[in-house]
Amino acid sequence: MKSLVELLHELPKNIAHRGARRQAPENTLAAFLLAEKLGADGVELDTFRCATGEMVVTHDDDLKVWSNGEGKVTKTPLKALKELDFGSHFSSEFAKEQIPTLQEVIDSLDKNSFINIEVKTLALRPIQEVLEVAKIIKLNNIYHRTIVSSFNPIVLRMLYKTDVKIPLGFLYQFKLPIYSIEYIFRSSKAKLQALHPESRLIGNTLMKQAISRGYQINTWTVNETVEMQHLISLGVDSIITDYPDKLHKILTKH
Ligand code: G3P
Ligand code: MG
């Protein structure tokens, strides 16, 4: 456990999960800009590479889930994606919300906001996605306020080989000992900056092991006050939440 003094100096980042998704349609510019207004330090967003090569921001490849379209994001050109309505599933007030590109989100956010780019592909050779994400981070020079996370370790290993400066976080939701995570990355020698476990997996043991091995802990999806307080007391580095306003209130009391 960290001392009280250490905790006071190192409160976790408040990261809005898919933007402020309880008050605006998730993964849209409306949700990201609202998250900043509500006190988030940054946003988590989900990305796919569309048919014309741009990285676009949405949680599912199936267009039916979040838009009035059909088919797959990965098989649709950007121009056609931009004609779809990504807001009405939330409320008619947001009917004009389009799918944003990753570049548009970077352009819209405050220059101090943190961006957790989750790469969603399950491909065994996700070369195009990796090259595109690496290109965008380099072009915008956002290494200091970005982390790329993925459930797909191949994405992270390939990113490490493409640009060693990109901060990387491994996402997982089942209990995995840290040595097994290190084993997954050993052959590529990829260095992770952070582990991104689901919040129910976090306890004192994981925190101690992570700290002793130099990993940050960024956890998701934390929506209850009691759990937020518990994770702050354990000393996690980021809390990814659907309620950045609630977390902001708790953090400002510390
Ligand atoms: O990055 C944390 C979290 O977003 C992972 O799960 O399904 O919400 O993208 P999901
Ligand atoms: Mg995500």
**Confidence grade of residue 102 (pLDDT, cut at 50, 70, 90):** very high
Query: How many separate domains does the chain show?
Result: 1
Domain that holds residue 143: 4-253
Q: What is the CATH number of the domain that holds 143?
A: 3.20.20.190
Query: Which atom of ligand 1 is nearest to 17's Cα?
Result: 4
Which residues are annotated as catalytic? 17, 59
Q: What is the pTM of this model?
A: 0.96
Gap between the Cα atoms of 211 and 225, Å rounded: 24
Contacts of 43 (CB under 8 A, 6+ apart): 15, 16, 18, 19, 32, 35, 36, 105, 109, 113, 114, 115, 116
Residue 183 main-chain phi, psi, to 5 deg: -60, -40
In the predicted structure, residue 4 carries a pLDDT above the cut 90: no
Residues near ligand 2 ion, CB 5 Å cutoff: 46, 118
Q: Band the pLDDT of 22: cuts 50, 70, 90.
A: very high
Q: How far is the CA of 94 from the centre of ligand 1 (A)?
A: 23
pLDDT of residue 14: 98
Angle at the Cα of 44 (from 164 to 145), degrees rounded to 5?
45
CA angle 115, 65, 247 (to 5 degrees): 40
User: How remote is the CA of residue 104 from the centroid of ligand 1, in Å?
Assistant: 20
| Res. 221: pLDDT tops 80 | yes
Whether the CB-CB separation of 120 and 61 falls below 8 Å is answered with yes
Q: Whose CA is nearest to atom 2 of ligand 1?
A: 220
pLDDT tens track for 152-171: 999 999 999 999 999 999 99
